[in-house]
Amino acid sequence: MAKINVIMLIAILSVYVISVSVSGRDRVVPIHPYLSGEEKPISNIYDTTNYGIFQLENGLAATPQMGWNSWNFFACDINEKVIKETADALISTGLAKLGYKYVNIDDCWSDLLRDSKGQLAPDSKTFPSGIKALADYVHSKGLKLGIYSDAGAFTCQVRPGSLFHEPDDAKLFASWGVDYLKYDNCFNLGIEPQKRYPPMRDALNATGRTIFYSLCEWGVDDPALWAGKVGNSWRTTDDIKDTWASMTTIADLNDKWASYAGPGGWNDPDMLEVGNGGMTYQEYRSHFSIWALVKAPLLIGCDVRNMTAETFEIISNEEVISVNQDPLGVQGRKVHEYGLNGCSQIWAGPLSGQRLAVVLWNRCSETTIITAKWASLGLESSTSVSIKDLWKHEYVSLNTVASFSARVDAHACEMYIFTPSTVTRSAS
Ligand SMILES: *[C@@H]1O[C@H](CO)[C@@H](O)[C@H](O)[C@H]1NC(C)=O
Ligand SMILES: *[C@@H]1O[C@H](CO)[C@@H](O)[C@H](O)[C@H]1NC(C)=O
């Protein structure tokens, strides 16, 4: 009898929910049962079983962080004028309004040595007004300031690191009004990251200032397994390069950790290269779409003072950004690949309101038709779905069932929101 009731229940509800309680928040993730006998996806997009066990509770990162970082375009060639002009440009272009709030200074802001009191000090040639003045300026624009240090003896560009100086450096950052810390992994003396990253978490917390804590451990010791209780995001891979090969490799490596991400703590496949010149328009569009889908931090890495119209079009796509910032906070993932070398790929993830974000991604060098079958999305084939194209900004269907196909150019992707209009299941 009990067995029959369960079967009947499943027959009535194609979507049921579980509630994950985290940091006082309740995240309700829909569970679509995958039916036996249907094509099994590579991964269940509703699997969040590893998320939320020990989230860092500093109240930040309810959705992935958005902003800009100096490294990918400027590397060490930074100064306070560039940072201020970037803050100005984020406002004047409208990017700040779309959510790009953090203005993050990467390596090379600091002097080569600590000062006579043992404190970090900004490079007096490039940041003569100091970081406090810069923070005040950035705050006056309604933006937030990020800074960079290293869980080692030195930063990667051989400035002083914060290892064994955590309380002093955290206090200094807080006194300057810093809102975000990217914490790198160079010159780490061979000490395991699980020992080097928590002291800075505790030091930041002890300042009383709410500071976003971004771990940059390069994925060496599988931080998804332990960093949830340490930081608001953790790098899952080596540094991105401005190439198709690097971007696709990183997307695949990061995918493995999808079930660990969620509000409060995100997998970080590194910052955006869109606009830096090493990839085509279609490749950058894929880069941005996939980063949005997988709930990666959206940290612009180009010179926002001097963007092309194409670059701006990509990073200002509000519908794609809203997928990234969706309150459900479930990382999208690769659900199916087929064809020569697995070139035809379907990536997808659940969104709030029983919707799905779906990306059809052509990883090969010839135009192809890619088909997503409902089974790989956890939908029953009779479910009727309306489909909004997030790059064309229009509905391409109001009632598709069973599967959806689109022509996708080489290295391009198409991105959609699927809204199931019926969730009935045929009783068998
Ligand atoms: C410090 O940590 C506690 C416990 O996780 C948290 O409630 C509090 O908000 C944190 N404070 C800051 C400033 O991050
Ligand atoms: C702006 O970007 C273009 C390339 O898109 C470059 O040729 C030009 O030098 C840049 N201008 C400035 C002022 O950086």
pLDDT tens for residues 397-424? 999 999 999 999 999 999 999 999 865 4
pLDDT of residue 13: 37
Burial of 376-393, coded b for 16+ CB within 10 Å and e otherwise, reads bbbbbeebbbbbbbbbee
Tally of helices (H runs) and strands (E runs) in the chain: 11, 18
CA of 332 to the centre of ligand 2 (A): 35
**CA of 264, nearest ligand number:** 1
CA of 307 to the centre of ligand 2 (A): 8
Mutate to test the pocket of ligand 1, among 57, 60, 181, 204 (most ligand atoms within 8 A of CB): 57
Is position 238 annotated as part of the catalytic site? no
- The helix/strand/coil state of 180 is strand
CA of 103 to the centre of ligand 2 (A): 21
Is position 239 annotated as part of the catalytic site? yes
CA angle 278/76/125 to nearest 5° reads 145
Task: Choose the weakest-confidence range: 36-40, 51-55, 310-314, 369-373.
Answer: 36-40
Distance of CA 338 to the CA centre of its chain: 26
Q: Could you tell me if the CB of 306 is within 6 A of ligand 2?
A: yes
Residue 35's pLDDT band (boundaries 50, 70, 90)? very low
CA of 261 to the centre of ligand 1 (A): 20
Residue 48's pLDDT band (boundaries 50, 70, 90)? confident
CA angle 415/417/423 to nearest 5° reads 140
Q: Could you tell me if the CB of 421 is within 6 A of ligand 2?
A: no
Q: Helices (DSSP H) in 105-165: which residue ranges?
A: 130-140
Give the list of residues 6+ apart from residue 347 with CB closer than 8 angstroms, or none: 290, 293, 294, 332, 333, 334, 335, 358, 359, 361
pLDDT digits (tens, 9 = 90+) for 286-307: 999 999 999 999 999 999 999 9
CA of 174 to the centre of ligand 1 (A): 14
Task: Choose the weakest-confidence range: 164-173, 288-297, 321-330, 416-425.
Answer: 416-425
pTM here is 0.91
CA of 409 to the centre of ligand 2 (A): 28
From CA 386, how far away is CA 416, in angstroms rounded?
Answer: 10
- pLDDT at 364 > cutoff 50: yes
pLDDT digits (tens, 9 = 90+) for 238-262: 999 999 999 999 999 999 999 999 9
**Average confidence (pLDDT) over 341-355:** 94
**CA of 312, nearest ligand number:** 2
CA of 274 to the centre of ligand 2 (A): 15
Q: Could you tell me if the CB of 79 is within 6 A of ligand 1?
A: no
Q: Whose CA is nearest to atom 9 of ligand 1?
A: 58
pLDDT digits (tens, 9 = 90+) for 71-101: 999 999 999 999 999 999 999 999 999 999 9
| Rounded alpha-carbon distances, angstroms, from residue 265 to 44, 60, 246, 249, 327 | 20, 9, 24, 22, 13
Mutate to test the pocket of ligand 1, among 54, 58, 210, 229 (most ligand atoms within 8 A of CB): 58
Mutate to test the pocket of ligand 2, among 306, 308, 310 (most ligand atoms within 8 A of CB): 306
CA of 157 to the centre of ligand 1 (A): 31
From CA 280, how far away is CA 242, in angstroms rounded?
Answer: 10
Q: Could you tell me if the CB of 205 is within 6 A of ligand 1?
A: yes
DSSP 8-state class, residue 40: P
**CA of 205, nearest ligand number:** 1
- What would the two tokens of residue 19 be? 């509630």
Q: Whose CA is nearest to atom 2 of ligand 2?
A: 306
Type of residue numbered 35: L
From CA 296, how far away is CA 294, in angstroms rounded?
Answer: 5
**Average confidence (pLDDT) over 219-230:** 95
**CA of 277, nearest ligand number:** 2
- The helix/strand/coil state of 6 is helix
Interhelix angle 281-293/244-255, nearest 10 degrees: 20
Q: Which atom of ligand 2 is nearest to 308's Cα?
A: 5
- Please name every residue paired with 333 in a beta bridge, in sequence order, or none if there are none: 348
Q: Helices (DSSP H) in 265-378: which residue ranges?
A: 281-293, 309-315, 318-324
φ and ψ of 3, to 5 deg: -65, -45
Question: In terms of Cα–Cα distance, which of 326, 334, 329 is closest to 358?
Answer: 334
**CA of 77, nearest ligand number:** 2
Q: Could you tell me if the CB of 210 is within 6 A of ligand 1?
A: yes
Q: Whose CA is nearest to atom 10 of ligand 2?
A: 306
Q: Could you tell me if the CB of 308 is within 6 A of ligand 2?
A: yes
- What would the two tokens of residue 106 be? 């990467």
- What would the two tokens of residue 127 be? 């940041």
- Please name every residue paired with 102 in a beta bridge, in sequence order, or none if there are none: 67, 144
